[in-house]
Amino acid sequence: MQTQAQVSTIQRYAKCIEVSKRIRWEIERDVIRGRKLDFSRKFLPDGISRLDRLAFLSGEERRFLSQIQGRTYANMFGLVERFISAKVLEVSRDHWLGDQTALEALVRFTDEELKHQELFRRMERMSAEGMPAGYTFLPRPNEVAGLVLGKSTWAVLALICCIELFVLAHYHQSIGPAADSSELWKDVFLYHAREESQHAILDELEWVRENAKLTPDARDRAVDDLIELVGAVDSMLDVQARADTDYFLANAQRAFDAAQADRIRALVLDAYRWQYIVSGVEDPRFTQILGGMITTEQAQRIGQALAPIVKPLAH
């Protein structure tokens, strides 16, 4: 006989299926609709790009740098969807001969993630049409996916849950309300967030399920894996922030002195760290889930690992 908790879990999987069917969208029919990106407007709003902190940039310069950050933002999601879809397919195996409701929910999740990858590839092509040559997105999706998927399932699901939650926070707090961003760019992340809302629920369910399997020692090793993943993400962000800053400086309509260039570079790195790490690990839902799984000592280890990333953002 099923317990009340088991029934509740099944109902949550079922609800994700119901919503997934109801909000299903297609790239061309619903999102693109024959439109192009509006390069007279920003992509990422200041609440995410943090460009309002660089007072010496003109409005046109802020707009261009927001478009560079926005281009990387779309590419970064195209990258993470690669390992997310692979991991969700992997964990669905546990349901193959079991809960078919959970299996259907995860299959739909994977299908939607594959669609998102194509959407972001489309966004890269559209961005390239209206921006100067020379932009490079340096991380290689398959290489990054291989590194991530080599870690424990608990750590990978923690990272995925963190990502899905900050996707929702970014859209609802900044992208959705932005009045000066390209309408098509905003719509891409509107439709993305609609499906990610279900994915965040499924991430949590699978992460909690995986957590219940672990011994204390295995969980402790998984915490180390999570710390290593955060470090790998930070290294990737540092490389891309430098590339994006160099691209901006090479295509700006004026020269910046060394001090200004350093401030731009530092700001872009700070923005990327906030976008892809800090806004996720500080999300209230993420901290609640993680806090219910780990010990005080493990939480301190995670905090110490995050300190060099979080501290620069305080200025």
Please report, for the chain, the start and end positions of each structural domain, with discontinuous segments joined by +.
Answer: 58-314
Burial call 154-188: b when 16+ CB within 10 Å, e when fewer: bbbbbbbbbbbbbbbbbbeebbeebeebbebbbeb
What distance, in Å, lies between the first and last C-alpha atoms of the chain? 56
Q: Report whether pLDDT(135) > 50.
A: yes
Residue 42 DSSP class = B
Confidence of residue 3 (pLDDT cuts 50, 70, 90): low
Mean pLDDT of 297-315: 85
pLDDT the model gives residue 250:
97
Q: What pLDDT score does 103 carry? A: 97
Tell me, what's the pLDDT at 315? 43
Q: Residue 56 carries which DSSP code?
A: T
Q: What is the CATH number of domain 58-314?
A: 1.20.1260
pLDDT in tens, 4-59: 666 689 999 999 999 999 999 999 999 999 999 999 999 999 999 999 999 999 99
The pLDDT value recorded for residue 314 is: 46
Residue 109: per-residue pLDDT: 97
Residue range 209-237, pLDDT digits in tens = 999 999 999 999 999 999 999 999 999 99
Which pTM does this prediction carry? 0.95
CA–CA gap between residue 294 and residue 218 (Å, rounded):
12
| pLDDT (mean) for 77-100 | 97
- Provide the 3-class DSSP secondary structure of residue 181: strand
